[in-house]
Amino acid sequence: MKFTRIEAHPKLDQFIECYWMMQCDDPSPGIEKIIPDGFTELIFNYGDLYRAKTKDLWYLQTPNLLAGQIKTYFYLENTGKTGSVAVKFKPAALTQFFGLNMSHYVDQITDLNAFDNEQLVNLQNKILPYQGDQESSRILDDYFISLLPQAATNPLQNVLDLIFSKNGAISVHEMTVAGDLSERQLERLFKKYVGLSPKYYARIIRFNYIFQLIKSENSSWADVVYQSGYYDQSHFIRDFKAFTGEDPSSYYFKASNMANFFLNK
């Protein structure tokens, strides 16, 4: 599998984490695990479709889809050759650009044609047929830059910036202070703009930070537990199993797979 990550135009820094592409000409079926990373996506498949497994049920995905926040891992399996191009959004960007209530899309992978937002649906006509990595990123840059004048302000910007700067090791009280919000207002805004509660979202970002720390091969598990802000090793293991279904000592961090591509920034 060939994985490619391309940075968006600097004007889109507050909205887009990156563009990513996957390509594989081998049609042999292979199962991949997808792990929460705190971002939402628009995904366009120009290759064969994927099957997804959530709650012990396999189903065939549509070619073009919106993936909301996920709370735990799930599985994908190719049905043939892979060809995908996608936009990975900052947490609130889909609400800012398209007015979506992200609480409706938690743990959901939705057919892009199911939306009544014409701009959102028509993006697939601009990106497909696939024209190569660089041309696709240029098309996406131009499209989203054209939407900037109508993009809504993000009332959670300061809060989200703090969550990322502290790698998720943050209390709800610190979030309310950063956003000058009551706890009730914070919960309501997170539900609409992110889809998850502020506490759960910070858990995901803290978990993600583990993958950055593991890159330092000199780090012991004790170092990782401490630096990622866990109170003790049992809490660390509990979170890791909740998000991956595996014990951290048995997880293969260097494997060339979708999960590690997305989490090893």
CATH code of residue 29: 2.60.120.10
Q: What is the pTM of this model?
A: 0.94
Last residue in a domain, options 150, 174, 208: 150
The burial of 1, by beta-carbon neighbours within 10 Å (0-12 exposed, 13-18 middle, 19 or more buried), is given as: middle
pLDDT confidence bin for 265, thresholds 50/70/90:
low
Q: 236 and 122, same structural domain? A: no
Is the per-residue pLDDT at 16 higher than 90?
Answer: yes
Give 198's contacts (C-beta < 8 A, 6+ positions apart). Answer: 159, 172, 175, 186, 187, 190
Q: How far apart are CA 106 and CA 40, in angstroms?
A: 10
- How many structural domains does the chain have? 2
pLDDT given for residue 221 in this prediction: 83
Is the per-residue pLDDT at 80 higher than 90?
Answer: yes
| Strand-pair partners of 3 | 22
pLDDT digits (tens, 9 = 90+) for 175-207: 999 999 999 999 999 999 999 999 999 999 999
pLDDT confidence bin for 262, thresholds 50/70/90:
confident
Q: 214 and 129, same structural domain? A: no
Output 181 or 120, whichever has higher pLDDT.
181
Where in the sequence is the domain holding 179, given as residue range(s)? 157-263
pLDDT digits (tens, 9 = 90+) for 208-242: 999 888 876 667 888 888 888 888 899 999 999 99
Q: 181 and 139, same structural domain? A: no
Share the mean pLDDT of the chain: 94
Q: 140 and 58, same structural domain? A: yes
